[in-house]
Chain A
C-alpha cells in the first residue's frame, strides 16, 4: 500500500520534522473532493451501501497506483467513476443478483455526481448512525466520506490494517443487514443525529491533534481531515449553528498548533507559547464563524467551546486572558455536558478568575470521578503550589506522572518534579 496522503490545509498544518511531496498533497485534495461525492452517488444509484463504498475504495487504491506515475487526470472525478464502474463489472459478473444494479450503474452519467450535496450529507449521516459503535462510525466516515484507505486509517489510529478492515466490514454489514436508512434525518430527529456526527468529527480531530511531535504524521493529517469534514458540513448545512461552532473550535486549535511544541519536540503550555506564531488570519476567521453561529440564536456546546478557545486565542498575552468570561462560558457548557472533565476545566477557570482556594474545593469534589486522570492530578498540583503546599503538590505531580504515557507530557512533569 502506498502512502498517498498528506495534509493540504493551510498553515501551520505540518508538524515539526515531517515533509510531504506536492503530489501527495494534490492527491489528498482530490480524494477529499471526489471520493465522498462518488461514494454518495454510487450508494444512491445502487441502493447498496456495501457495494458502492467498496467500488470507490478500489478505485482510490487504483488511483494511488497510477496517478503518481502518470499524473493526476484532468477530470479526476470522471477517472474515479470510470474505474469504479469497471470494478463494478468485475463484481457484478460474479453475482447474478446484481443484474438490476448493473443496469442502474450503466445508466448513471458522471455529470449527475457533481453538485449532489444532499447525497454527501446522506452518506455522512449513514456513516455516523447511532446504531454503529463510535469507532466504527469513525473508520467508516474517514473511508467513505474522505476516501482514506484502510491502511491510512490504521496508521492514523496506531493500529493494524486488519483491525480497521474488520471494523469497516462489520459496520457495513450492520448497515445492510439491519436496514440503516440512507437518509438525512428530519425535524426533531436531526438535532440528535447531528450531535452524533459532530461527536465523530470532534473525536477524529482530537485523535490527530493530541498526537505528539514524534508520532506518525498520519495522525496529524487526521486533524486536518476532520477540519475538512467540518468545513464540508458547514457548507452542506449552512443554517445549522453547531457545525459552525465546531469548525471555529478546530480552526482555533490549528491556528495555535505550530507553537505547541518547542524546537526539541517538548510540550509548550498555553501560558508559555509564543503568541506571535499563532495564525491571526485563522483566528479572525474562526471569530467570524462564531458570530455567524451566534446570529442564528441557537447556542450549543460546540459554539461555547469555540467561544472559550476564542477567548484564549484573542488575548494578547496570558495575563490578558479574560478568565471571568471563560468561567461563565464553562458554566453554560456544563448545562449541555455535565461531565467531570468539563468541571475540571471550570476549576482551572475558577483558579485563574477567583484564586486557588475555591478551585481546590471544586477539585476535591472531583476526586473520585477523576482519580485515574493525569490532568486532574497535574491541575491539583498547580493549585496546591499556589497555596504554598509544595509537598502535597509534589505527590500530586508524581501521581500524574504515573498515569500518563505521553512522552511530551511526561517530560514536562519530570521537569516539574526536578
Chain B
C-alpha cells in the first residue's frame, strides 16, 4: 500500500542555531537515503519554509491569492514522502523513525485500478 508521510515541524528551523540544525539535517538526509535505497520511499520532498507559501482561496468561487500557508499555526508542513509498504504498521515504523520529530501524519493514498 502507498502512504503519504506528512512531516510537520514544530520549530522554525531557521531560528535554530546552525550547528544544531546541521546535525538534524544530516540525520534527515540519512533517513531518506536509507529508506530510498531499501525501496520503501517512492518520492518526496523537503519544502521551503512556510514563509514562502502562497495560498489560493476561492471566495464565493472567485480565486484569490494570499500570502502565507492555508492555516496559521506554529506547526508547518516541512515536507512529505510517498512510501510503498505492506501495511499501516510498516508505514508507522517509518514515521516513528523520522529523526526531526515534530509530528508525522500518515495517510493512505487512494489507489485506483485494484480488484
Contact = CB atoms under 8 A, between A and B. Distances in A.
A70 interface: no
Contacts of B106: 178
A80 B115 CA distance: 29
B17 interface: no
A97 B1 CA distance: 19
A210 B8 CA distance: 41
A181 B115 contact: no
Given A97-B115, A100-B115, A179 B92 contact: no
B115 A179 contact: no
Nearest to A129: B88
A131 B87 CA distance: 12
Interface in A160-192: 177-181, 183, 185, 189
A181 B108 contact: no
Interface residues of B, number: 12
B35 to A, nearest CB: 18
B87 A181 contact: yes
Q: Which label, helix, strand, loop or mixed, suits the secondary structure of the A interface?
A: loop
Contact of B108 (A97, A179, A189): A179
A178 B108 contact: yes
Nearest to B86: A181
B89 A177 contact: no
Most interface-central of B3, B89, B91, B107 (chain A CB within 10 A): B89
Nearest to B3: A179
B115 A131 contact: no
Interface string B30-56: 000000000000000000000000000
A129 B92 CA distance: 12
Nearest to A177: B108
Contacts of B115: 97, 100
Contacts of A180: 87-89
Interface string A120-154: 00000000010100000000000000000000000
Nearest to B91: A179
A363 B16 CA distance: 41
Interface in B89-109: 89, 91-92, 106-108
A129 B88 CA distance: 10
A177 B108 CA distance: 7
Interface of A: 97, 100, 129, 131, 177-181, 183, 185, 189
The 9 closest A-B CB pairs, nearest first, are A181-B87, A179-B1, A179-B88, A179-B87, A180-B88, A178-B108, A178-B88, A181-B89, A179-B108
